[in-house]
Amino acid sequence: MLPPAFYETGDLDVAREFSTIGVVGLGTMGAGIAEVFARSGFDVIAVEVDDDGQERGKGHLEHSTGRAVARGKLSAEDQAALMKRITFTTRLEDLSTADFVVEAVPERLELKSELFKRLDDICRPDVVLASNTSSLSVTELGVQTARPDRVIGLHFFNPAPVQTLVEVVRTVVTEPGLIDDVTALAEKIGKSPVVIGDRAGFIANALLFGYLNHAVRMLEAKYASREDIDAAMRYGCGYPMGPLALIDLIGLDTAYEILDTMYHQSRNRLHAPAPLFKQMITAGLLGRKSGHGFYRYAAPDSSEVIADTQTPSVGSGSDATLLRPIKAVGVVGTGTMATGIVEVFAKAGYDVLVRGRTAEKAEAAVAAVRKSLDRAVSKGRMAEADRDAVLARVTPTAALEDFALVDLVVEAVAEDLDVKRSVFATLDTVCKSGAILATTTSSLPVVECAAATSRPGDVVGLHFFNPAPVMKLVEIVSTVSTDADVLATSQKLCLDLRKVPVNCGDRAGFIVNALLFPYLNDAIRMLEGHYASADDIDTAMRLGCGLPMGPFQLLDVVGLDVSLAIEKTLYLEFREAGLAPAPLLEHLVTAGRLGRKTGKGFREYN
């Protein structure tokens, strides 16, 4: 049966008009949703289960709007008008006059199901019922009513008054035209809506929580410390928070529930909650809200981290007296990464020998360093005299034999294992005893380079990120053979270079790529399944998670061929079905659509 409004107008395409909004549940999220609608001029009926809950909800609203007044983003008069537009009640029956109802009660299926049954009886047949669920099936909630075609997901992000993303979730029975009406409503309240199908986690959580779970497994395996995992993603990817700090903010119990729901729908083992979650939850370590999670906090709900003891990270704790002296550095390679590394060392005061396959290539590498320094001079970031001093420390060569007296060699040639083995075998015969031999590989096993030498204890991974003069992160990769003083020297060296060093073992992807590329692969599978568009997925991850780029923007920048190679490496190492490269990625690479470098990838470029 069509709503009365359709019979009155005789037009099936007429857009719905909403004036009174119902909000059920006045916790932090529900109160934020009520505020968002009231700010946009809607009358709001706000329902809580009892008087205490109602008072807490009012408190949330008064605190949030009070902060807006204090910051000059809302006048005292507007705050008062906003609060007058909200009617607080403990009676669901008061929603009989609402045109649109959003529930924001706790994330429990039985609770939400019972609520939708009651709302179906109370609200007019034409009223749209929306759930703010972050992980439960909207379809399953809809079938609790006699109007499943008018039940949708409207997933706000916390804090709702600040975060602009809203996920609009359609089901297989969603009424035609409803999504357009709800999308228009979301835009009217100043949000950026993305439309998606009804799948566990929707867009943002489906992609985010697999990544978070992987980070917990990494910690659980003692592969890297919590600080190094978090620093790697902050400085290597520009993420606003590291994954473990983010889980503390979300709450370990909440994260576990979302992952568990996703796993039961997807049966993807990558979504199966890491056992460490359950152990910490049982011990009451829920994150910020309990004052202790992966980190310890000054008090419950505090953001102030206080120091506590933890197993040291890989390679830490070495005796500083064991540091090897580093004065002269050799760099093998003439590509962008190699010249960036040369610049970093020369700026830090090291004498640098850069080797190219020919004298011309070596000279071109020095010219590339000069060009980069000239840009810094032109932008006022460096004096000409400082530029000249840096260049005076750089010497080109075409002979690896010239590395006989250097204290450290950094290999930065193409990601070809046979080539790298050959370079390290030559360095082994050329370099003096005690020289550190480093590779800046991003995905190949460091131990393979070490095995090509007679001194595996001297070999370490120093994975710089491109562009090396700008990116602050360096992953220090130890093999089973790397000597403790080599790790300690590498750590000190990175600090001298003003980089942020993180320590990890010699496993495919190290930290950053091991966490980043499964997430990118999941995004491709989401697109491949026609679950959401590339634009909506990118928007969801940028606005919902605060990432600097959406996954498809990033894939096009990195290069689809590079991404495919890394994903194949991860799959071959871990043999997890969920890590197998998405067929769509392989098809695009086969078709020559490699990203920005070819002008076509997931998008087309001028």
Question: How far is Cα 42 from Cα 371, in angstroms, rounded to an integer?
Answer: 58
Q: How far is CA 202 from the centre of its chain?
A: 16
* Enclosing H/E stretch for 521: helix 512-528
Omega before 275 cis (within 30°)? no
Helix (H, G, I), strand (E, B) or coil at 285: coil
> 276, 220 in Cβ contact below 8 A?
yes
**CB contact set of 4 (below 8 Å; sequence gap of 6+):** 126
Distances from the Cα of 549 to the Cαs of 135, 239, 398, 554, 570, in angstroms? 23, 9, 39, 6, 22
Q: Note if 167 is an active site residue.
A: yes
Question: How far is Cα 68 from Cα 66, in angstroms, rounded to an integer?
Answer: 5
Question: How far is Cα 103 from Cα 23, in angstroms, rounded to an integer?
Answer: 6
Question: How far is Cα 521 from Cα 564, in angstroms, rounded to an integer?
Answer: 9
Helix (H, G, I), strand (E, B) or coil at 89: strand
- Of 232, 229, 228, the C-alpha closest to 213 is 229
Question: How far is Cα 346 from Cα 331, in angstroms, rounded to an integer?
Answer: 11
The DSSP code sequence of 291-351 is: TBSSSEESSTT---EE----PPPTT-S--GGGPPP--EEEEE--SHHHHHHHHHHHHTT-E
* Length of the chain, in residues: 606
Question: How far is Cα 195 from Cα 169, in angstroms, rounded to an integer?
Answer: 6
DSSP state of 274: P
| Three-state secondary structure readout of 9-51 | HCCCCCCCCCCEEEEECCCHHHHHHHHHHHHCCCEEEEECCCH
- Of 208, 155, 196, the C-alpha closest to 545 is 208
> 32, 62 in Cβ contact below 8 A?
no
Give the relative orientation of helices 51-70 and 76-84 as an angle to the nearest 10 degrees: 160
Summary count for the chain: helices (H), strands (E): 23, 18
In sequence order, what E strands does 54-108 have? 86-89, 100-103
Q: Note if 135 is an active site residue.
A: no
- Residue 168 pairs in a beta bridge with 154, 195
From the candidates 64, 131, 132, 205, which is the catalytic residue? Answer: 205
* Enclosing H/E stretch for 354: strand 351-355
Per-position b or e across 115-136, b if 16+ CB within 10 A of its CB: bbeebbebbeeebbbbbbbbbb
From the candidates 167, 257, 411, 448, which is the catalytic residue? Answer: 167
The DSSP code sequence of 168-237 is: EE--TTPPTTHHHHHHHHHHHTT-EEEEE-S-TTTTHHHHHHHHHHHHHHHHHTTSS-HHHHHHHHHHHH
Q: Note if 155 is an active site residue.
A: yes
Apex 486 CA angle, 480 and 492, nearest 5: 130
Amino acid making up residue 368: A
From the candidates 60, 155, 214, 271, which is the catalytic residue? Answer: 155
Residues forming the active site:
134, 155, 167, 205
